[in-house]
Amino acid sequence: MPELPEVETTARLIEPGLLGRTIRGVQVDWLRSLGGMSRGKFEGAVVGAKVSRVWRRAKYVVIDLQRRGKPAGVLLVHLRMTGRLVVKGKWVEVPAYCRVGLQLDRGNLFFLDVRKFGRFSFHPESESALQHLGPEPLSDEFTQEVFFEALHGRRRAIKPLLLDQGFLAGLGNIYVDESLFRARIHPLELARHVSRVKAARLFEQIQTVLREAIVREGSSFDAFYRTPEGQPGSYQHLFQAYGRTGKPCTRCDRAIRRIVVGQRGTHFCPRCQVLSKKSR
DNA sequence: AGCTACTCCTGGTAGC
DNA sequence: TGCTACCAGGAGTAGC
């Protein structure tokens, strides 16, 4: 499922086909993808606008729009489970599972989404729509010290906390499991009981996992995530925990266990990731 | 504050 | 073969 590395890859790969393009028309095949806006309002907001920038914040692809050189709102695209963005050239038949399409002065942008959880929504400006999000894990403002202090005040288990986009932006189920595995921290360890040493390890592993996954253009292991060019990512070959239930731990050979934490499948090594007594 | 349960969705697959 | 039941899950929300 698309998390920070997959969304980063998507934003990077669609940008060349969108930059400077003007939106000529819209096609909406699933109204709820617009996140509550009517078809007519959406059309009025975007038709005639020009794309000035494509970037990523948390798990959102952000498409900045302009009119006559001035900011004219943003499109926020959240891929959720099965969303994809694809830029196609001149003539196309509409791809399967297309929920929203933008006809451009050159080419088309399609939002495809099998399960319809994703969103393709217009906002007058990005700040208020993105203000609920925590720090970017690869930004300068996110430091070891900031991370340790933030963990210190929380009584929640570490995994649900890392999945909370208001605490830290961009991580999802896969990269949380991988980061906790590499840092040797049990997913149910209470955040306040994560020592300074372990917090430093987790900080490093979160950044390492994300950077490596970006280089590999994300993870593809089922029929869903593909880059906008249709290629699978390759980080799934480096999974050590996620989806490896029953397989040997790469460090100690013990079988990887699967439990459910906050309704999410959670994978860890019961020997390497031990729950401290305080957190039991 | 932070937990659980529920909702939204559908393709794939296991079981019969 | 063809059917049903169940599974995956990000984020928002309700209720405790």
Q: How confident is the model over A182-218, as pLDDT tens digits?
A: 999 999 999 999 999 999 999 999 999 999 999 999 9
pLDDT reported for residue A85: 97
Identify whether A8 is a catalytic site residue: no
Domains of chain A (ranges plus CATH)?
4-129 (3.20.190.10), 144-279 (1.10.8.50)
List all residues 6 or more positions away from A127 whose beta carbon is below 8 Å from its beta carbon. Answer: none
> pLDDT, tens digit, for every residue of A78-92?
999 999 999 998 666
Q: Rounded to the nearest 5 degrees, what angle is found at the Cα of A18, between the Cα atoms of A15 and A23?
A: 155
The tens digit of pLDDT for each residue in A143-195 reads 999 999 999 989 999 999 999 999 999 999 999 999 999 999 999 999 999 99
- According to DSSP, residue A242 is labeled T
* pLDDT (0 to 100) of residue A92: 64
Q: Residue A55 in 3-state DSSP?
A: strand
A253 CA → C2 C1’, Å:
42
**What's the pTM?**
0.97
- Distance C4 C1' – A32 CA (angstroms): 29
Residue A129, CB, less than 7 Å from strand C?
Answer: no
Mean pLDDT (chain A, rounded): 95
Q: If you measure CA to C1', which residue is closest to nucleotide C11?
A: A80
Please tell me the distance from the alpha carbon of residue A269 to that of residue A280, in angstroms, as a whole number: 17
Q: For A25-72, write each residue's pLDDT tens digit.
A: 999 999 999 999 999 999 999 999 999 999 999 999 999 999 999 999
Arithmetic mean of pLDDT, A104-116: 95
User: Which of the following is catalytic: A24, A156, A258, A264?
Assistant: A264
Tell me whether residue A186 is exposed, middle or buried, using C-beta atoms within 10 angstroms of its C-beta: 0 to 12, 13 to 18, 19 or more.
buried
Q: Quote the CA–CA distance of A175 and A118 in Å, as a whole number.
A: 20
Q: Tens of pLDDT along A232-263? A: 999 999 999 999 999 999 999 999 999 999 99
Taking Cα atoms as reference points, which of A2, A6, A57, A3 lies closest to residue A217?
A6
Q: Active-site residue A264, yes or no?
A: yes
